[in-house]
Every structure is written in structure tokens, then in C-alpha cells.
């Protein structure tokens, strides 16, 4: 870790006047904000500003711009591709203290929140309303961060991603404008879709200070089950057929043999060491019964074993917590290791080929590398456990990732289903889209942030 360039004293003074104790230049705080779960060496900012109000965010954006100092918006710090690293030092803007639920409109099934509200906190606040917010990346990310990365998770196959679930955003743009992107109607044709421009822009176009998201009615009936399959191929084929016949399945997760071993160790799940699908069904009682019957028939024909049901809400919670813990569970398979995580997403017709070829490639590598995925979307992850100090292993993992991305692109898929580009996938973005679309993104970035101060160096080098 190299220390960040010091900030201009007049900027530091301005930030101190604004924030008092909520401006930190402590090396520990700066280093904490300059590292993430990615493989990159830490890149700390020179200072961390903890904002509590939109007015403060506006003042911080203006101060940084006036002094031409980079600013990195920061939520829970749970992104995986280096999104929050302070590539050029400057100020990191921590938004976790902007954690107020602004409004819940039960009748319209929307919630308006400050950016630091986490997905779990939002759902806890909704507990008595008969509504829930479905997007669930593994970590307890903030809503602001989830907007920034276009987050997704296990429910996306039924409920969509942040792309479909953000109604409007209020953003402070790099030039210090407060932009509210839309009203609260379900749909609108009023000009450019600024909401979707900011969703997935990874903090490079502004700071989200408020978001209105869609909520969904808690289903009358919820059933969850796991099912073991004789092979990766059988499990993935079951998913493909489930999607193709149009079952409105709520969750449909693939967990391979290695990941099951990790879960059994970490979460005491006691599952047979075989490839599994984890299912959840939402609907009326009769509707869920119908879905279950269809999926059981598909699974049975492919050699799937009997469904193991999570009967109570507690068992269901345990099941999905186990699924969400795969990442940390897998790290225990090789203590002291770091993860290189992949994130391709392919058209569903290509999924079985893509997973099978990837499993073969991994088997030849000798790396411990569980495969899990939101396979109903065509999205899956490989978590390659490497010795972070071994250049050879890191290079080996990167080469596997590059081959996986090339395989997915050849199948008309994407290099990232949900994690984003960050620092790590800028080359893959060019492979995926070509020069002209990325040039257009840079054109938009340049128009909105001519001095390249807002989370610089992410998605593309300037």
C-alpha cells in the first residue's frame, strides 16, 4: 500500500469545517476504505468524509471539484471488482450514516430511502407491511451501492434486478446539480431514462442521495427445497427446462459439489456432496403446488433426488443464509486464501455448455474453485481460491477467468451479470461491446464529469 497524495490544505480545512469529527484522515480508516474483496492491492484515499445530509454531499462534491480532487462514493464496501478503491487518492465519501427510511408507500408498493440503508435494514423495516424488497446480493449491501452496481441476486429470476426495481433516484452530479430522475409513477415516457443511466454507473456519474425502489407483496405461500443431482449437467438442464416452460420460479440456485462441501463445513448443512439446486416457490397455495409439481417432474426425469423441504420460516432462512454464506464458507476450504470471483451470464440455451466446459477447465487447473449461480438468469460464479502471494496462482486464476469470459462472449453472453466492471473487467468490457459503445460511455462521462473526478478510473480509464 502506498499512501495517498495529501489533500490541498484549503480543501482539508473546508471539509473539516463542514464535517468536524466526521472527516477522518486516520491511516486505519483510509486503508479500510481503500481495500475490498478483490485481488487488488489497497488504494486508500487521503481522507474519508462521513456525510449525514444531502446538503453535506453537495458541499463535498463542490469542494472536491473546485480543488480538482477525486471523490469516491462508498456504501458498504462489499463490491468485488475494485469499485471503491481510490485509484488516484482523494476523498472517499462514506454514505453509511445516511441511513434513514424516508417513506414507505404501502399502497403503491414503493419505498424511498437514503443511500446508506442496507437491504436487510429495509426488509426489517417492512416486516409488518406485507411487502418486501427482493434484490439480495450476497453481502448486506447498501441500496445506494446496489444502485451503483446494478445489483441482482437470488430473486432476480422472478423479480428482476436493480434495473427493473428502481423507480427514481436523486443524484448529486459532478457539477453539483441535484438531479431527481423521475416521479413515482410505475412507468413514464418523459425524456431520457436518467434513472437507468445512473443505475450501474458505478459512482462515476454522481452520488446517489435518495432512491425510490419497488416493493413486492409477500407471497401467500412460500416453499423452499434443495435437490441433489447426479451431475452438473443434469442440474443445469433442470434449470434450463424450468425456465423454458415458463415456471415463475422465485429462486433457482446452482451449488456445485465443492460449494456443498464448503457449506457443510461452515453452515452444518449436512447435504450429500453432489451438485444441488436450491429452489424457492412463491405464489398462492395452489400456484405453488403447481410449480412444485412441474419442477419435481423435470428434476425427476434428470435423475434429481427427492426434494428436501425447508418447512418452517426458520429453516428457510437457514437455507438461504447458507447459500449467501457460500463465499465465506469457501474461503475456509483453504484458510488464508483470497478469492478471484467470476461472474459471467449467458443466454439460457447456452448455460449447460458454458457450465460444463468451465467445470472441465477448472478440473484441469487443480485450484479449489466452487461454482454457484443464479442459474435461472443464466448467471453463475466461480470462486477460485488462490494464495494471494503466489504470482503463479493469481495468474492461473486470471487466465481461467479470461477463458471463461471468452467462452461466455462466444455464446453471446456478458462478462458480468451483476458484479460490474470496476477496475477488474475493463478489458473484458471492450471485448464484450467493442470500441464504439465504450467510447460512447466515455463521451457521456466526459460530458458530465470533464475533470474526471467522480470515482475516476472505474469502468474505463479516462
Q: Which stretch binds its own copies (CB under 8 A): 66-74, 102-110, 298-306, 358-366?
A: 102-110
Q: Interface with its own copies includes 394 (CB under 8 A)? A: no
Count Cα neighbours of 419 within 13 Å in the Cβ-side half-sphere: 31
- Is beta strand 344-345 parallel, antiparallel or unpaired with respect to 276-283? unpaired
Number of C-beta neighbours around residue 190 at 10 A: 10
Out of 97, 188, 231, 264, the only residue in the binding site for its own copies (CB under 8 A) is: 188
Identify which range of 61-69, 89-97, 155-163, 317-325 contacts its own copies by CB under 8 A: 155-163
Q: Specify whether the CB–CB gap between 381 and 253 falls below 8 A.
A: no
Write out the DSSP string of 102-124.
EEEEGGGTEEEE-TT-BHHHHHH
For residue 247, the minimal CB distance to its own copies (Å) is: 10
Grid cell at residue 410 = 462466444
Could you give the count of Cα atoms lying within 13 Å of 75 in the half-sphere of its Cβ?
29
Q: How far apart are CA 81 and CA 288, in angstroms?
A: 37
Residue 192 binds its own copies (CB under 8 A): yes
Distance of CA 295 to CAs 19, 227, 375, 379, Å? 55, 11, 15, 19
Q: Please say which residue, 151 or 322, places its beta carbon nearer to its own copies.
A: 151
CB 376, min distance to its own copies, A: 9
Contact between 172 and 65 (Cβ < 8 Å): no
Q: Tell the smallest beta-carbon distance from residue 22 to its own copies (Å).
A: 27
> For the CA atoms of the chain, what is the radius of gyration?
22
438 binds its own copies (CB under 8 A): yes
**Which ranges constitute the DSSP H helices of 303-390?**
313-324, 326-331, 351-365
Selected from 123, 222, 409, 451, the binder of its own copies by CB under 8 A is 409
Q: With b meaning 16 or more CB within 10 Å and e meaning fewer, what string describes 389-399? A: eeeebbebbee
Nearer to its own copies, 114 or 379 (CB): 379
From the CB of 374, what's the least distance to its own copies, in Å?
A: 9
121 with 104: CB under 8 angstroms? Answer: no
Measured distance CA(321)–CA(314) in Å, rounded: 10
Q: In Å, how far from its chain's centre is CA 92?
A: 20
- In the complex, minimum distance from the CB of residue 336 to its own copies, in angstroms, rounded to a whole number: 29
The residue count of the chain comes to: 462
Q: Is residue 178 close enough to count as binding its own copies by CB under 8 A?
A: yes
Residues 360-379 that bind its own copies (CB under 8 A): 377-379
Q: Pick out residues in 304-343 that bind its own copies (CB under 8 A).
A: 343
Size of the site for its own copies (CB under 8 A): 90
Left if phi > 0, otherwise alpha if psi is -120 to 50, otherwise beta: which for 311?
Answer: alpha
Does 149 bind its own copies (CB under 8 A)? Our answer is yes
In the numeric block, which cell numbers belong to residue 315? 429453516
Bridge partners of 254? 277, 373
From residue 61 to residue 80, what is the string marking binding to its own copies with x (rule CB under 8 A)?
--------------------
Report residue 133 as a C-alpha cell.
Answer: 424488497
Residue 3 near residue 44 (C-beta atoms within 8 A): yes
Of the candidates 191, 270, 335, 366, which one interacts with its own copies according to CB under 8 A? 191
Smallest gap, in angstroms, from Cβ of residue 82 to its own copies? 14
Residue 235-254 contact track with its own copies, rule CB under 8 A, x = bound: -----x---xxx--------
Which listed residue (1, 444, 461, 462) binds its own copies by CB under 8 A?
444
Q: Which stretch binds its own copies (CB under 8 A): 15-23, 28-36, 266-274, 419-427?
A: 419-427
Does position 102 interact with its own copies (CB under 8 A)? The reply is no
- Residue 215 or 385: which CB sits closer to its own copies? 215
Separation of CA 53 from chain center: 25
Choose one: 91-99, 176-184, 303-311, 326-334; the region binding its own copies (CB under 8 A). 176-184
Nearer to its own copies, 337 or 416 (CB): 416
Q: Which is nearer to its own copies, 209 or 240 (CB)?
A: 240
Q: What is the C-alpha separation between 114 and 196, in angstroms, rounded?
A: 18
Asked whether position 160 contacts its own copies by CB under 8 A, the answer is yes
| Least distance CB 413 / its own copies (angstroms) | 5
Judged by beta carbon, residue 310 or residue 375, the one nearer its own copies is 375
Name the grid cell of 317: 432462512
| For its own copies, the closer CB: 70 or 376 | 376
Q: 123 to 142, contacts with its own copies by CB under 8 A?
A: none
Answer yes or no whether residue 200 interacts with its own copies by CB under 8 A.
yes
When binding is defined by CB under 8 A, the residue of 32, 35, 67, 196 that contacts its own copies is 196
| By CB under 8 A, residue 100 contacts its own copies | no
Give the residue carrying C-alpha cell 467510447.
439
Q: Looking at beta carbons only, is 163 or 316 nearer to its own copies?
A: 163
Does 427 bind its own copies (CB under 8 A)? Our answer is no
Amino acid at each position: 500500500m502506498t499512501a495517498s497524495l495529501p489533500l490541498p490544505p484549503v480543501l482539508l480545512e473546508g471539509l473539516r469545517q463542514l464535517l468536524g469529527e466526521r472527516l477522518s484522515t486516520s491511516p486505519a480508516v483510509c486503508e479500510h476504505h481503500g481495500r475490498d474483496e478483490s485481488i487488488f492491492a489497497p488504494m486508500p484515499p487521503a481522507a474519508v468524509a462521513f456525510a449525514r445530509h444531502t446538503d453535506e454531499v453537495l458541499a463535498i462534491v463542490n469542494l472536491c471539484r473546485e480543488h480538482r480532487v477525486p471523490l469516491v462514493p462508498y456504501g458498504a464496501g462489499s463490491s468485488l471488482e475494485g469499485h471503491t478503491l481510490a485509484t488516484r487518492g482523494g476523498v472517499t465519501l462514506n454514505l453509511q450514516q445516511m441511513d434513514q427510511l424516508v417513506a414507505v408507500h404501502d399502497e403503491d408498493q414503493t419505498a424511498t430511502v437514503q443511500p446508506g440503508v442496507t437491504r436487510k435494514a429495509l426488509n426489517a423495516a417492512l416486516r409488518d407491511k406485507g411487502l418486501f424488497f427482493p434484490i439480495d446480493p450476497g453481502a448486506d449491501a447498501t441500496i445506494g451501492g446496489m444502485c451503483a452496481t446494478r445489483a441482482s441476486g437470488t430473486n432476480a429470476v422472478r423479480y428482476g434486478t436493480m434495473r427493473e426495481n428502481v423507480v427514481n433516484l436523486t443524484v448529486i452530479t459532478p457539477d453539483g446539480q441535484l438531479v431527481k430522475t423521475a416521479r413515482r409513477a410505475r412507468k413514464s415516457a418523459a425524456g431520457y431514462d436518467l434513472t437507468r443511466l445512473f443505475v450501474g454507473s458505478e459512482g462515476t456519474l454522481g452520488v446517489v442521495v435518495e432512491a425510490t425502489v419497488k416493493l413486492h407483496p409477500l407471497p401467500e405461500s412460500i416453499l423452499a427445497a434443495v435437490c441433489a443431482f447426479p451431475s452438473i449437467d443434469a442440474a443445469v438442464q433442470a434449470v434450463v427446462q424450468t425456465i423454458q416452460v415458463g415456471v415463475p420460479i422465485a429462486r433457482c440456485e446452482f451449488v456445485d459439489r465443492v460449494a456443498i462441501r464448503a457449506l457443510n463445513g461452515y453452515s452444518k448443512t449436512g447435504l450429500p456432496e453432489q451438485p444441488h439446486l436450491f429452489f424457492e416457490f412463491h405464489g398462492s397455495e395452489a400456484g405453488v403446488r403447481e410449480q412444485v409439481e412441474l419442477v419435481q417432474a423435470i428434476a425427476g426425469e434428470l435423475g434429481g433426488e427427492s426434494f428436501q423441504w425447508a418447512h418452517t420460516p426458520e429453516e428457510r432462512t437457514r437455507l438461504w443464509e447458507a447459500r449467501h454464506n457460500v463465499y465465506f464458507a469457501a474461503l475456509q476450504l483453504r484458510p488464508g486464501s483470497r478469492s478471484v470471483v467470476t461472474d459471467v451470464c449467458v443466454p439460457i440455451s447456452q448455460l449447460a455448455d458454458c457450465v460444463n466446459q468451465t467445470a472441465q477447465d477448472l478440473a484441469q487447473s487443480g485450484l479449489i474453485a466452487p461454482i454457484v449461480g443464479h442459474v435461472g438468469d443464466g448467471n453463475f460464479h466461480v470462486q477460485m481460491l488462490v494464495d494471494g502471494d503466489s504470482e503463479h496462482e493469481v495468474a492461473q486464476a486470471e487466465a481461467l477467468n479470461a477463458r471463461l469470459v471468452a467462452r461466455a462472449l462466444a455464446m453471446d453472453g456478458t462478462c458480468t451479470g451483476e458484479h460490474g466492471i470496476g477496475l477488474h473487467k475493463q478489458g473484458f468490457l471492450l471485448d464484450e461491446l467493442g470500441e464504439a459503445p465504450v467510447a460512447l460511455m466515455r463521451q457521456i462521462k466526459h460530458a458530465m464529469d470533464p475533470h474526471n473526478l467522480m470515482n475516476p478510473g472505474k469502468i474505463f480509464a479516462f
